[in-house]
Amino acid sequence: MATVASNVIARELRERRVQLEIARETAAAEADIDRLLAEVDAALARVGAGTYGLCEVCHDPVEPERLQADPLLRFCIDHLSAPEQRALEQDLQTAARVQRGLLPEQDIAAPGWEISYHWEPAGLVSGDWCDVVRHDGDLFFMFGDVSGKGVAAAILMSHLHATFRTLVPGTPKVGHLVESANRVFRESTPSPYFATLVCGRAAASGEVELCNAGHCPPVVLSSRGVETVAPTGLPVGTFFSAAYGSRGVRLDAGDALVLYTDGLTEARDRSDAEYGTDRLARTLAGARGLAAGAVVAACLEDQAAFLAGAPKRDDLTVMAIRRTA
Ligand SMILES: [Zn+2]
């Protein structure tokens, strides 16, 4: 008996078939349309036989997000042909270049502030993201981690990037900014995905307003030592109507705010020990007073010392926002 899901797939495939028949009447590239028609018919036959969506080599399910993008796929990512693998590699390299282009400039200086960051994908593309926007004399910074890894996470990361860039000019309160971004994200993103993020606004006076949507707590380095700022809301994308508050912190000259993704603290060495927040706090305690770039470098150096050559498995991003005057 056909399931509801296979009925939906079959209907979608038949709709594509109709489009191809129409195109064949008019288009010049007839040979290609005949090839696609044959592929659609073969996919419909697989739906009928109950083998649709299974890799023809290993019989495991083909990755759902790939199948969503191309319902004619017959092989899982591990069993692509050599030309398919090369094409995918090229696409990923292009995506990686596009993604790097979305990042803010390195070493940002603004009145009273300097910002430095390190962004390092585990693969070619990343689900981590950071951005800095100057608006009305304030610095808005956005920093987060989309659930999952690879291309799907990278696409959602660029979606969030565009959403925040669009919202900043009309939304001075960071809590409202995250609330609006959450609604846009929830409305336009398939269900299992969410993002943890910190959105902040640094004023020339040294006041920083922070909204933390379920992300690793930002660390404040000041003469009081190392303090963390607790989350003020749920990850973005969890519930459509979630409300987001904010906390204020004041930074004096020499103080810094450090943001990081779990690729820093959840990294594991060869004995499976976790780097952890305590070790990060000790490292940061020794970095107070350093320039923003040096604070970021201190985190990376200490993590590298801890890992001692063990591979990093997650995307990693660290950002330091330091008050200079
Ligand atoms: Zn396979």
Distance 279 CA to ligand 1 centre (A): 41
- For residues 74 and 149, membership in a common domain is answered with no
Distance 54 CA to ligand 1 centre (A): 8
Cα radius of gyration rounded to whole Å, the chain: 24
- For residues 184 and 274, membership in a common domain is answered with yes
pLDDT above 90 coverage of the chain, percent: 62
Strands 256-260, 195-202: pairing is unpaired
Backbone angles phi, psi at 110, to 5 degrees: -135, 160
Q: How many CA atoms lie within 13 A of 68 on its CB side?
A: 6
Q: How confident is the model at residue 120 (pLDDT cuts 50, 70, 90)?
A: very high
Q: Give mean pLDDT, residues 26-36.
A: 76
Q: Could you give the 3-state DSSP secondary structure of residue 97?
A: helix
Distance 81 CA to ligand 1 centre (A): 11
Distance 61 CA to ligand 1 centre (A): 8
Backbone angles phi, psi at 136, to 5 degrees: 55, 40
Distance 224 CA to ligand 1 centre (A): 55
Question: H-type helices in 138-242, by residue range?
Answer: 150-167, 174-188
Distance 86 CA to ligand 1 centre (A): 17
Residue 15's domain spans which residues? Answer: 4-79
Answer whether residue 307 is part of any domain: yes
Neighbours of 12 (CB within 10 A): 14
Residues measured by CB to lie within 5 Å of ligand 1, the ion: 55, 57-58, 76, 79
Distance 69 CA to ligand 1 centre (A): 17
Backbone angles phi, psi at 115, to 5 degrees: -130, 135
Write out pLDDT tens, residues 193-242.
Answer: 889 999 999 999 999 999 999 999 999 999 999 999 988 888 998 888 88
Rounded Cα distance between 120 and 129, Å, is: 10
Distance 77 CA to ligand 1 centre (A): 7
Q: How confident is the model at residue 2 (pLDDT cuts 50, 70, 90)?
A: low
- For residues 45 and 135, membership in a common domain is answered with no
Distance 50 CA to ligand 1 centre (A): 17
Distance 52 CA to ligand 1 centre (A): 13
Q: Could you give the 3-state DSSP secondary structure of residue 132?
A: strand
Query: Would the pLDDT of 290 be above 60?
Result: yes
Q: Please report which helix (H) or strand (E) contains residue 117, including its range.
A: strand 113-120
CA dihedral (130, 134, 137, 139) in degrees, to 10, reads 0
- Cα–Cα distances in angstroms (integers) from residue 107 to residues 205, 289, 292, 324, in the given order: 20, 16, 8, 13
Backbone angles phi, psi at 131, to 5 degrees: -155, 155
- For residues 147 and 30, membership in a common domain is answered with no
Answer whether residue 54 is part of any domain: yes
Answer whether residue 97 is part of any domain: no
Distance 5 CA to ligand 1 centre (A): 21
Rounded Cα distance between 120 and 271, Å, is: 23
Paired tokens of 232 = 């003020």
Owner of token pair 């985190």: 299
Distance 65 CA to ligand 1 centre (A): 15
Neighbours of 26 (CB within 10 A): 7
Distance 85 CA to ligand 1 centre (A): 13
- For residues 296 and 185, membership in a common domain is answered with yes
Distance 57 CA to ligand 1 centre (A): 5
Distance 157 CA to ligand 1 centre (A): 28
Distance 62 CA to ligand 1 centre (A): 7
Answer whether residue 167 is part of any domain: yes
- For residues 70 and 112, membership in a common domain is answered with no
Answer whether residue 198 is part of any domain: yes
Q: Which of 44, 79, 114 is the last residue of a domain?
A: 79
- For residues 69 and 16, membership in a common domain is answered with yes
Question: What is the total count of domains within the chain?
Answer: 2
Answer whether residue 218 is part of any domain: yes
- For residues 73 and 175, membership in a common domain is answered with no
Classify the phi-psi angles of 318: left when phi > 0, otherwise alpha if psi is within -120 to 50, otherwise beta: beta
Q: How many residues does the chain have?
A: 325
- For residues 251 and 303, membership in a common domain is answered with yes
Q: How confident is the model at residue 1 (pLDDT cuts 50, 70, 90)?
A: very low
- For residues 155 and 257, membership in a common domain is answered with yes
Distance 111 CA to ligand 1 centre (A): 55
Answer whether residue 138 is part of any domain: yes
Amino acid at 189: T
CATH code at position 215: 3.60.40.10
- For residues 112 and 41, membership in a common domain is answered with no
Q: Could you give the 3-state DSSP secondary structure of residue 60?
A: coil
Query: Would the pLDDT of 147 be above 70?
Result: yes
